[in-house]
């Protein structure tokens, strides 16, 4: 779906916007996927991200299909009032597409609980009743779930510990480098730090820091929050070139920033034993073969960063059942689902002698294909009446 709409800006002028919503597959359940506000949003990107969501839900066994949305805009250039108008206009244009049993949006780049709250409210107005389950990632007072903000980072940390156990590496004093210190990287760093791992390097768009003895993550998070969400200027670690964070001699490398940061050009320089893909597509297809040859274990993104969609599912479930779960329930269920998914992927990888990435896609594609076949038979059977 491609939508065009306009809003009146705070200065009285009218501005046009273009937005997208792609539904990739609904064989396993309602389509699910974030909405991003960014000037770089384009149709092909949204298509690819929608497909990713299908496989991510399938590999973890969550009853959702894949979707993704986006609006071409720079949210930093708009006031809260303008962002609300943009969100409501986009929702109004797609009011027949969204729905708890049809298509469930969530936050992504440039969006958050505010946008999800406006979307829920606008959808509810269009349907004459409050519909909490139409969207996830909301504020707690609007029907959001405990643990949703830190869910992806929590999931990455769970998968990291499972990967260490798989390779029989003790977590205590295991060294970790994390590229990206946004929501995912920050929470991943905090959870791993609390488990006794040594975070020796972190980076964000402003720079990178290294300390062989380990960075004090709670202290860095405090600095980050007081420094306008940036680690720039942090003085309790050594400044290094941002690209060097990928080639450090660490046990675990966690790219949590953007896609295609590890390519066939730099794959041979990777010294980490394990790469956990916290971002979507940080390891290019060209790099995969080189890393496999060099015995680097790569845990694929559709498994590694599935904590977000898993807790989104919990939020949708709580809204649908009119329940509110405690933090302990959410963490226990999240760990159970991710552990089961990890074990399934690595069992298939061992059985078929393939990489975990290929194993994850084998599992996901099989689930979708089997359900698609059942759905197609059901659709076709209605054409033929019994005598």
User: What positions carry a catalytic annotation?
Assistant: 68
**At 310, which helix (H) or strand (E)?**
helix 307-321
**At 199, which helix (H) or strand (E)?**
strand 198-204
Q: Which two tokens stand for residue 3?
A: 């939508």
Of the candidates 188, 344, 353, 200, the residue with the CA atom closest to the CA atom of residue 276? 188
Query: Could you give the CA distance from residue 325 to residue 318 in angstroms, rounded to a whole number?
Result: 7
Query: Could you give the CA distance from residue 116 to residue 139 in angstroms, rounded to a whole number?
Result: 8
CA 315 to chain centre: 15
> What's the alpha-carbon Rg for the chain, to the nearest Å?
21
Query: Could you give the CA distance from residue 43 to residue 34 in angstroms, rounded to a whole number?
Result: 14
On whether the CB atoms of residues 20 and 96 are closer than 8 A, the answer is: no
How many CA within 13 A on the CB side of residue 309? 32
Beta strand 14-25 with 2-8 is antiparallel
Query: Could you give the CA distance from residue 178 to residue 155 in angstroms, rounded to a whole number?
Result: 15
């Amino acid at each position: 779906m491609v939508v065009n709409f306009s809003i009146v800006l705070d200065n009285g002028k009218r501005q046009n916007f273009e937005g997208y919503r792609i539904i990739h597959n609904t064989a396993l359940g309602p389509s699910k996927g974030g909405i991003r506000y960014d000037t770089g949003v384009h149709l092909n990107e949204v298509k690819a991200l929608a497909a990713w969501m299908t496989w991510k839900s399938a590999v973890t066994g969550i009853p959702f299909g894949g979707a993704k949305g986006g609006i071409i805009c720079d949210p930093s250039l708009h006031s809260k009032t303008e962002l609300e108008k943009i969100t409501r206009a986009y929702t109004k244009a797609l009011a027949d597409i969204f729905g708890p049993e049809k298509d469930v949006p969530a936050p992504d780049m440039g969006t958050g609980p505010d946008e999800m709250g406006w979307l829920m409210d606008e959808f509810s107005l269009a349907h004459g009743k409050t519909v909490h389950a139409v969207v996830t990632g909301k504020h707690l007072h609007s029907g959001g779930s405990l643990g949703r903000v830190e869910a992806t980072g929590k999931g990455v940390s769970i998968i990291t510990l499972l990967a260490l156990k798989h390779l029989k590496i003790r977590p205590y004093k295991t060294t970790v480098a994390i590229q990206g210190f946004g929501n995912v990287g920050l929470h991943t760093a905090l959870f791993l730090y609390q488990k006794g791992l040594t975070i020796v390097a972190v980076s964000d768009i402003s720079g990178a820091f290294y300390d062989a003895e380990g960075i004090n993550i709670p202290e860095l998070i405090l600095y980050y929050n007081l420094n306008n969400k940036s680690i720039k200027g942090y003085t309790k670690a050594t400044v290094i070139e941002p690209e060097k964070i990928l080639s450090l001699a660490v046990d675990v490398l966690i790219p949590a920033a953007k896609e295609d940061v590890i390519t066939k050009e730099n794959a041979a320089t990777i010294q980490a034993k394990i790469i956990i893909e916290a971002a979507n597509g940080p390891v290019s297809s060209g790099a995969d073969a080189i890393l496999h040859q060099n015995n680097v274990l790569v845990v694929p993104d559709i498994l590694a960063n599935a904590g977000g969609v898993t807790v989104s599912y919990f939020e949708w479930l709580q809204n649908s059942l009119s329940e509110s779960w405690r933090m302990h329930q959410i963490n226990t269920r999240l760990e159970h689902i991710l552990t089961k998914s990890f074990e399934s992927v690595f069992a298939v990888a061992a059985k078929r002698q393939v990489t975990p990435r290929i194993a994850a896609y084998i599992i996901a594609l099989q689930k979708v294909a089997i359900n698609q076949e059942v759905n197609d038979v059901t659709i076709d059977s209605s054409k033929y009446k019994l005598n």
